[in-house]
Structure 1
């Protein structure tokens, strides 16, 4: 199972959307002139591992926030591609079955939360295969469109709680500005299982891009991390457009030899920020992820609820 990230150019996105409906799921690398079978392009080599009956999900297709899932009918191929504004591109393709297409909203209630549909690289494995197929089944059967009588109370309860989450995040921001937010997050990471150590930059002349350095034994918060994590903490209001935090994370990963980076911001994530995170993840070949907006409230409630609710 693979997810292909957003195509930035709107015209190219439309052409790829048409190609999918015609039976070809395409992946681009504008300066590639030969098939992967003839010349090795490391970043695209994963395409050779895609087999018949696998699934590909095109993220932000045909527009931002939407997804197109489709089943493959064969393995990797190379053709004349499509003509884009910058030249010929998207020569790499996987044959797919247009009759298998499922289009849906990325935040559809039928999609299990464990299924990551916000890839931080141009292409990314979907590791939760069973949950992915369950989500597809939910979509096909519109399982949660008409909520059953038994589930109605729970559904409305969740909706009410979701309405409260922005208020919780806003309160976290209000009470934790600047360094206080770093200290607040320090306390949360400190309570996580399997955490070996947490260091912070308080009192340093410079933190070299790392507000927090977290070392742990096992993956946490659903992202692929090995040992050391660089965290940037931003207590903002409104929407987060600032890309500097991501540049700081890159600096921190280089300085401390970290395996991944994480931005935690009380502001809401924007499309521009999402695109830049993907760009820098590709450039560094390391995972960079974001916890933003209401997900900050969820993050605290999951790992350190006593900080909000008391003992």
Structure 2
């Protein structure tokens, strides 16, 4: 028989959001990702899906990696974004289905959706409608371009809002075109900011008893990740250049070739101390004494030559040797 634990019996093992109920009408990533994180913290998330329109991530799988079984249960991304949730399917064009949703909203703390404003208006589920059912509810709407404005009703995913925010314009090599990241980056950025916004709104309600409407724009969420570039353009008219794998505050910072075909390693050195340590690891102590690379500023000024020298060094190593 195991001895009785000495742990504090008051510890909440269910998570800090235990007792919070969330109704989610989410699609793809932005809202499902955010609500997943809240579910991980203990909230009860009830995910609403359509009987007629299947969530596309349910059936998506990587090419050549199709799984067997029901086509609606084949999407790994769907399960990654929707773990720890309850689910219900409703036909919102049917009055009975809409009535069930309204009853759920009336007993919940948060209503989250990422439809276009036009669709939510057609469902009669705008904030004023929802608040009439539950005055203390927190409603969060995640859109591509905001709940108001000329682009409000444009549907969007990460690649579109990465362009609209200017993020993709700043991404790429100095002599190349703008590039998109390998993932829909702004979907995840908006999702994380949604979590903070919902938590803040719940704290506000705890203090005041008042619900809130939270308008999350993916474009604004992405713009918030590059404030220096926006301020520099607004104040000085300068456009942020594309710098490839470089970093404005670190050198070396890049992807370097190793032994073997198409083998690479990424290296980032953020201090003089780590620069000296790196030189010791690759058996090049003289490089640490080179006046061109003696400190962070000089390494940055001479980064082109530094990248060339480091590339010559790394080609003498296997990637896993350097990594270890």
TM-score tier after normalising by the smaller chain length: under 0.3
Query: Greater Rg, structure 1 or structure 2?
Result: 2
Question: More helix per residue: 1 or 2?
Answer: 2
TM-score (norm 1): 0.22
TM-score (norm 2): 0.22
